[in-house]
Amino acid sequence: MEERPLRYGGAAVGTMTVGTSADTLSRRTRARLDRLADQVGVAAHTVLLSHRVHASREEAVGAREEERRRLYRDLHDGLGPSLAALALNAEVARESLPADPDRAAALLDRVVPALNATVGEVRSVVHGLRPSALDDLGLAAALRELAASFAGPRLRVRTVLEDDLTGLSAATEVATYRIAAEALHNASRHAGADEVVLRARREDGRVRVSVEDDGQGMRPDHVPGVGIASMTSRAEELGGRLGLSTGPGGRGTLVEAVLPVAIA
């Protein structure tokens, strides 16, 4: 049996095993096997890449369907009954108005707070689809506002942002904001940090966003949780990537995502 490593771009992608009845192979045969291994390495890489793309698409579809299911539940189980009850109370108040104005007023006194609460639920659902701050303020200002919301007496939060974070695709804007929000949440809750720095800038058709803290860092046996998985999925479904490492100074944690400016 003869084995040859399969490589693509210097990285190992598998092993080619060739059965042979001869104890030894000639130099020419070995050279041919080496050339064949180079070609098979390209094919193997293509197959692996195809599987990864397929898996990534399945994850994206699954995440999208879960989001649709959540939205359906919010609308069907929450807002739907609330609006139906409000409509019923308003109708009863209208019918009671001529004969019993006091009862009508009492009903409306209950309807107005409930209606305001329902408006808040609608805003919450809308925010889940796309943060309103992105449209109201733009990405840079929205990130500054987001960072300020995590600051407190025990945690300093700084931002180092380029003002020119415009012209991004809607998907990239949302992913940048959501990744920053999740990373800030993790740092403020789990890192035991004194300071967190949020950075974002454009470079060569990409957006680089990072959150660095000076906290206790990751344990050697650290297992990424749901938050890291969510950030990774958001980055990869746009063709970007997310990295998790120790901070540059050897202390704390650095979460960094690189995303495309435009989505093809």
The pLDDT tens digits for 193-216 are 889 999 999 988 889 999 998 887
Q: What is the model's pTM? A: 0.58
User: What ranges do the domains of the chain cover?
Assistant: 2-57, 62-130, 133-260
Residue 261: closest CA among 142, 175, 197: 175
Fold of 62-130: 1.20.5
What integer pLDDT is reported at residue 22 of this predicted model? Answer: 66
- CATH fold label, 133-260: Heat Shock Protein 90 (3.30.565)
Residue type, 244: L
C-alpha distance from residue 64 to each of 37, 55, 187, 193 (Å): 40, 14, 26, 34
Q: Which ranges constitute the DSSP H helices of 97-218?
A: 101-129, 132-137, 139-150, 170-190
**Residue 160 β-bridge partners:** 199
Q: Which residues of the chain have pLDDT under 70?
A: 21-23, 54, 56-68, 72, 74, 123-129, 163, 218-225, 263-264
Output the pLDDT for position 210. 93
State residue 160's pLDDT score: 92
